Copies of this chain bind each other. A is one copy, B any other.
Amino acid sequence: MSARKSRADRRVDLIEAARRAILRHGTQGVHLNHVAEEAGLTSGAVLYHYPDLSELLVEAHHAGMERFYEQRLKRVARLSDPAEKLVVTIRSGLPVGPDDPGVRLLNELGGAAARNRVYAVLLTTLYDRQVAMYQSILDMGAALGVFALTEDPVVISRNLVALEDAYGYRITARHPVIGPDEAAELILSYARTVTGHALAAVAH
């Protein structure tokens, strides 16, 4: 038997277990037992905490998104130069490789969002937050005279997030040519054009 845990602790465990199970089997393909296995419990125990599996799955996706977004913020927080910020932010939006769990979890939802309003809202909200993130970097860079923007910062930001998203899909689908480095360079090519800045790529 698995060690007994408090309600709060167990729910955190289960959200993590659900996240792993989703990565293995897909949002639609996950079954109660998959989650139970990942958590080292029986299906009954899972049901005790989450009588409705779909609620657990939503929480797992939600948690995964928050983590993804928080990590991006954290990585850029220590930097002050807008150009550096921009480069690092672009990198942090891309998967490190085809198996990157953060991006793979997000990609799971692309199709589901068309059928499931809750997932649609989650994804849309994340998109908007990422756009705002880029926008603040661009605004700051423009204010400091580091960037000479050729477009409305909102337009640039929306396109940057869109590019990240799309290349995330390509990378997780194992495109033979477009890996993390290539994707970063493609996005940087756009960023350079619209900011008028050379934006040196950083080693990852």
Contact = CB atoms under 8 A, between A and B. Distances in A.
A142 interface: no
A150 interface: yes
B107 A111 contact: yes
A150 B165 CA distance: 24
A144 B184 CA distance: 31
Interface string A97-125: 01000001001111111110001100110
Interface residues of A, number: 47
B167 A162 contact: yes
B173 A158 contact: no
A127 B190 CA distance: 19
20 contacts: A24-B115, A27-B28, A27-B111, A28-B28, A104-B111, A107-B114, A110-B173, A124-B174, A127-B170, A151-B189, A151-B193, A155-B186, A155-B189, A158-B178, A159-B187, A159-B189, A163-B166, A165-B169, A193-B193, A193-B194
